[in-house]
Structure 1
């Protein structure tokens, strides 16, 4: 199929989505429900026929409004709301009718106060995702989104990677928006999101067809808390964190909703220092190299979010949203390489002093329109998105050699690397909800264009004056066009069964040009991504589900850039313009018992997998960090989640994973030992209420990961213990928390590989043991509810930061 024919096909499919909906012969009745003081939200509005059978109904929205569509005729209108007299009347509908405001009368025999207390389930298993309710968690109080992810079932945050236990990395979303960064950049961004603002975390291992197919092991969706109607609310918070060095965070979150206007403004600032140690041992044929790196990160980060929505009618909303951050994580690092001979005698050493001046910024702008066509649930949603990401990195390294008796041998290496990255993405998407009498149908389309450019200039500064090294410099330009259409259908079969079928078609065209290589690489592929879900609710206690999905993992833009970036004098990283995407097939079978016991069997098969290859040259002692497609992999296992409350003051959440990983290498250029093995992982999070008024609570969390082998690496075991205490004062408007995290300093994990017949070990200590104190104060009417929306260019934004 030619590129031109593909574009025509996608264009025609896109036009089909905009065709008018099927029309029905019906009329509508609408109105507003109030009491003496204000509108009434969530009142039940019911229409019955003359025989008393329910024909249709609705609940009042945030403004007390309702609209119901029915066939022409005579009906009984009934409005019910707890604590109020029922409202009843007869309406004759020959044409659409707008009723006068309806006033409900409060019952005269009301109790002085009715308090309904409901404890939400900690874990909820839905047909296509696992929902972890984070709100008001003690251990995350005063923390950030990374702290919330650490205690989420099945998620591990280790070595700057966020992964699903037993699988490779997952993509992270915030309110449906895929975050564009990875590694330290992603961690810095998530650190700007206060955990106290998070309502729940969705773990979507097989996302429906509506979502982009990007993300080989699925998606993590962080969802903000929502307020209530008709008021304003403001929360200000301060956090102090003390590890080896100190960090500070200040945040303010303002929400407002009145009549047709919804506004959210959030600003977060982080500053301070972070001390990171890394230890690498390379066992060359001639002897051991002991390489120790100490980094001091000076982190200044400012991020903000602005959302504004306006209701332009009873069923239509238009709005804009901005999300952006600016950060300056400057790094001072010192690398000491101690060199031994085969008899373990000291031969020499090298000391490298480095400084990185870094500036990162990203800005996202979304324009959104949604309209409900009728009261039957048919709607159209349109998103227009723009995103840009910019990074400037200037790095200087000087290496001095020393003899065995610590006498300087002079400067052997001096380098300056200037790297600039510019990335822009434009996208548009349309989503249609089109329910029918027997099933619910949704479909949509998305088009996206990405332009990315890297400029890398390497200078030899050994003489003091920078001299450009053209062989180590490059200008790399990358463009990507992606068009997608999808259709998804949900059907209930009786009262116990529900099924969901989806199909997504994505067409991708890429072009990468390297100036130094004078080489252009094109890629053109059209792929289908099916999804399937089936659930069975046997009774109130037991439910079963099975799902299947196919996913894609595209290389990050920087992983394609062939230019060199020096870490120290003998270690450099470089991208691979020939990287291909990998594909995953995921199958899961689960059982949920009373929302407390969730058992899951899972199977994952990844083809054309790519990853980091840290290879060493036994002759030159150079270490090259590159990216290659080199493996196919099976992962299968069993997981258990169990929550219980043995007493009224103790709540416990527990998980267990049993995992088997098996890989096979197909890349003949990879000279490495395949690592296959079994792993188990256990975790327990426990919350204790320490007084009758429930204003003092503590939390003790612990997890343990056994040793295991996977891909290229052998991993030692590691574990972590966290202890936290939270106080709620002044009717819970003032909250204070104290905590000690990774109490035993045991979460760093040693990894070992055998590449080119050379053994390497590596471990990283990112100031993981720390003390944290936080204060937050909430004031206002506390009834604001602001609907959350996502951006439309999720995939490209994530990949820009890789």
Structure 2
């Protein structure tokens, strides 16, 4: 973040404090609101979404948005992906604003948001037509806390995580609302180190190749947000939002590759040392106008958005070969891999809410323009002098234009029946050009995305619902770049300019009993599915990470969740899912699909040890299972959290012991392609302890509105 922007974020709270009259002591009204919130149901079932209220979850205190999402029912976060069980990878929104990042970049962004500022989380398995059709796994919508007019509030969170190393986090959020003017500003910083280990076994025809890697990751993040809104009149509001996020992690890896012969005797050793300097940043600008047209509650809104993303990747590595007795042989490979990516996006959209006496209708349109330039350079440094290898260097240009229109209608027939239907039309045109290969790839497709919801309330205890939605999953921009980036001397990753989007049809039938027991039966059909392929070159004992449209899939399952209060001091949230799949390969990849039943269960238990003290004990487990090309080992996590309220609840001190038995990491990720079996495991400092302090001051009745950014589809595909 530029120094000027940082200065603005730091001075805004001081300026507004000077204009306001603070009252540090909470009044009676505030205290009564806290009591009401504590009795709120943890989970609410709506027509098109499940709402999870997490204010009573002790383990999220001092944590971030990513850890909060991981506590939501039916949601699992693992390996840089957020999944709704049985659906697939999900997109994430904040107050209806899509976060246009994915993978590691999305996780870093969510880690910069304080969980204490989250009101609830919406799990939308089949999003309505108003939202972009992108994302096969539905949407996770994070709703931030809001409040009353003529007030201000400041929340500061300090936390320290101890794994093998330590991480410090400081977050500050400021809100101000006076008369016609509203402002919110936040700044978040994190620094420290993580430890990651990787283990890969590749069973080649001439023997086993076993790689072990230990990486020390320096984590650095700085992010901020500024939002301004002004009421021109009682009916019209204009506003502006700016968001900036910067990450600069460094990776120091020590890798050893042991190669065995067919008699399982150690033949030779490769020692690979590397240092990677990564960095990324994104800026988002939004200007909007909202106007209420008449007393019939017709509302028209316009948004203009600009998004800019840039990333760098600079890896130096050297790999030396040794005999089994550690006698030096030669240099296996030495190189420098540099990759840069710049993406910019403009989008314009208009939305209309048009209620009629018989039915509520909404409709709108959006256009967006995206440009991406990716540079990949590879230098051979084995002689000590960097030499550019033009055959492994490339510039890739990509453009994407998208136009969309939608209409959505909902109707409540009577006290028992409610219906909602929607239709979205999207037209997409893409062009990718590789300068080195002199290769151009174009796509042009026009697709319809229908949605349907029906709910029936039989009586005050029983509610039934049925929904359907069609979705699209477009490849991230960087996955389309055909050139390779080396992971180590025996492994590299490369994109595929011919990747096409996949499509999914989602069906779900659900029943809720007193909003205590919820049953969900679902089916998810994926066509033209694309994903990662771990292939290999047996002649060079090299692993190749590629992406292909290679499968179609039928996913199905049943989920049960149960909310219970076993006593006034003991509340429990529990879930149990049975998941299955049927996979068919649509491309000859010389592999056989296999599927098996998966069981996923979790229990979260909160104990009130007094009016201001809470203890939470959580446990989750996912069984080993087979899914298409891959077999995956079990994961589990046992967590204990403790929270103490102080100073009339203006301060909280919390302690968390996460994944106490260190069993939540990826285990035995296995595939067999071209007769070569690969088994991969990875840990990323999942076991840690955290100490947090949260302090709130000011009038806590705030009312700062978040505005949805319009470029809701493009940014998330920029992740690494």
Distance 1:780 1:335 in 2: 52
> Which of 565, 589, 594 is matched with 2:485 structurally?
565
Give the corresponding residue for 1:291: 211
Are the equivalent residues in 2 in contact too, given 1:572–1:625 (CA < 8 A)?
yes
Note if contact 1:660-1:678 (Cα within 8 Å) is conserved in structure 2.
yes
Q: Determine the structure 2 residue equivalent to 1:586.
A: 506
Q: CA deviation at 1:181?
A: 2.5
Q: What is the TM-score with the length of structure 2 in the denominator?
A: 0.94
Mean Cα deviation higher: 380-389 or 337-346? 337-346
1:352-391 equivalent positions in 2, closer than 5 A: 352-391=272-311
Task: Please state if 1:765 is matched with 2:678.
Answer: no
Provide the rounded CA distance (Å) in 1 between the counterparts of 2:636 and 2:277: 34
Which residues in structure 2 correspond to 1:373-772 (within 5 Å)?
A: 373-668=293-588, 670-691=589-610, 694-748=611-665, 749-772=667-690
Query: Following the alignment from structure 1 to structure 2, what is the Cα–Cα distance between the partners of residues 294 and 490?
Result: 54
- Aligned mates of 1:308, 1:593 — CA distance in 2: 43
The answer to whether the 8 Å contact 2:86/2:524 transfers is: no
Q: CA deviation at 1:789?
A: 1.7
Aligned to 1:800: 718
SS at match of 1:139: helix
CA 277–394 in structure 1, closer or farther in 2 if over 3 Å, else same: same
Tell me: CA distance 1:113–1:717, structure 2 relative to 1, closer, same or farther (3 Å). closer
**Residues 138, 632 of structure 1: CA spacing in aligned structure 2 closer, same or farther, 3 A cutoff?**
same
Question: How far apart are 1:449 and its partner, in Å?
Answer: 0.2
> 1:788 maps to which residue?
706
Superposed CA offset, 1:469-521 (max 9, x none): 11101000000000000000011101211100100000000000001110110
Distance, in Å, in 2 between the alignment partners of 1:156 and 1:626 is 25
User: Offset of 1:113 from its aligned partner?
Assistant: 9.3
RMSD: 1.4
Q: What's the counterpart of residue 7 of structure 2?
A: none
When residues 360 and 540 of structure 1 are mapped into structure 2, their CA distance, relative to the original with a 3 A threshold, is: same
Contact 2:54 2:120 in 1 (8 A): yes
Distance 2:278 2:636 in 1: 33
SS in 1 for 2:406: strand
2:10 matched to which residue of 1? none
Secondary structure, counterpart of 2:597 in structure 1: strand
* 1:108-119 alignment, distance < 5 Å: 117=36, 119=39
Aligned 8 A contact 1:136 1:196 in 2: no
Unaligned residue ranges in structure 2 (runs of 5+): 1-27
Q: Which residue of 1 aligns with 2:61?
A: 141
1:517-536 per-residue CA deviation (whole Å, 9 max, x = no partner) reads 10110100000000000011
Q: Does 1:330 align with 2:250?
A: yes
Distance 1:712 1:174 in 2: 34
Q: Distance in 2 between matches of 1:542 and 1:395?
A: 58
SS at match of 1:494: coil
Q: Which residue of 2 aligns with 1:100?
A: none
2:415 counterpart SS class: coil
How many equivalent residue pairs?
689
TM-superposed deviation, 1:284: 1.0
Q: Do the aligned partners of 2:146 and 2:701 also contact (CA within 8 Å) in 1? A: no
Cα distance in 2 for residues equivalent to 1:240 and 1:711? 40
Match of 1:204 in 2: 124
Rg (Cα) greater in structure:
1
* Secondary structure of the corresponding residue to residue 113 of structure 2: coil
Aligned to 2:58, what secondary structure does the other structure show?
coil
Cα deviation digits, residues 543-587 of structure 1 (max 9, x gap): 111000000000000110001100000100000000000000000
Q: Which string of whole-angstrom CA distances, capped at 9 and with x for unpartnered residues, describes residues 252-277 of structure 1? A: 00000011111100100000011100
The 8 Å contact of residues 700 and 722 in structure 1, kept in 2 or not, is answered as yes
Structure 1 residue 281 displacement after superposition: 0.7
Take 2:33 and 2:710, find their aligned partners in 1: how far apart are those partners?
A: 43
Q: Compared with structure 1, are the counterparts of its residues 534 and 281 closer, same or farther at alpha carbon in structure 2 (3 Å cutoff)? A: same
Distance in 2 separating the partners of 1:530 and 1:180: 23
Distance 2:59 2:125 in 1: 25
Contact map agreement 2:531 2:549 (CA 8 A) in 1 = yes
Shift of 1:288: 1.0
1-structure distance, mates of 2:707, 2:628: 38
Q: Deviation at 1:619?
A: 1.4
Contact 1:505 1:528 in 2 (8 A): yes
* Equivalences for residues 58-77 of structure 1 within 5 A: none
Paired with 1:117 and 1:659, the residues of 2 have a C-alpha distance of: 37
Mark the CA change 1:421 to 1:138 in structure 2 (over 3 Å): closer, same or farther: same
1 CA distance for matches of 2:557 and 2:240?
43
Give me the whole-angstrom Cα distance separating, in 1, the residues matched to 2:321 and 2:660: 38
| 1:190 shift after superposition | 1.2
SS in 2 for 1:189: helix
**1:431, CA displacement in angstroms?**
0.4
Picking from 248, 264, 277, the partner of 2:168 is 248
Tell me the secondary structure at the aligned position of residue 59 of structure 2: coil
CA 1:180/1:335 → structure 2, altered by over 3 Å: closer, same or farther?
farther
| Cα separation, 1, equivalents of 2:571 and 2:587 | 49
CA distance in structure 2 between the aligned counterparts of 1:800 and 1:732, rounded to whole angstroms = 41
Deviation of the 1:115 alpha carbon:
9.7
Contact 2:47 2:455 in 1 (8 A): yes
Equivalent in the alignment of 1:5: none
The yes-or-no answer on 1:236 pairing with 2:124 is no
Give per-residue Cα distances to partners, 1:21-41, cap 9 Å, x unaligned: xxxxxxxxxxxxxxxxxxxxx
Structure 1: state its 5+ residue gaps. 1-82, 84-111
Q: Does 1:280 align with 2:197?
A: no
Q: How does 1:166-205 map to 2 (within 5 A)?
A: 166-205=86-125
Q: CA deviation at 1:179?
A: 2.1
Once residues 247 and 505 of structure 1 are traced to their aligned partners in structure 2, the CA distance between those partners, rounded to angstroms, is 46
The Cα offsets for residues 97-135 of structure 1, whole Å up to 9 and x where unpaired, read as xxxxxxxxxxxxxxx999974611111111111111112
CA separation in 1, counterparts of 2:486 and 2:33? 66
Match of 2:227 in 1: 307
Distance in 2 separating the partners of 1:296 and 1:241:
15
Cα shift readout 1:33-71 (whole Å, capped 9, x = no counterpart): xxxxxxxxxxxxxxxxxxxxxxxxxxxxxxxxxxxxxxx
Q: Which residue of 1 aligns with 2:22?
A: none
Greater Cα shift, 599-608 or 113-122: 113-122
Give yes or no for contact 1:181–1:801 (8 Å, CA) kept in 2.
yes
Q: CA deviation at 1:228?
A: 2.4
Superposition deviation, residue 282 in structure 1: 0.7
Q: Which secondary structure state, in structure 1, belongs to the residue aligned with residue 135 of structure 2? A: coil
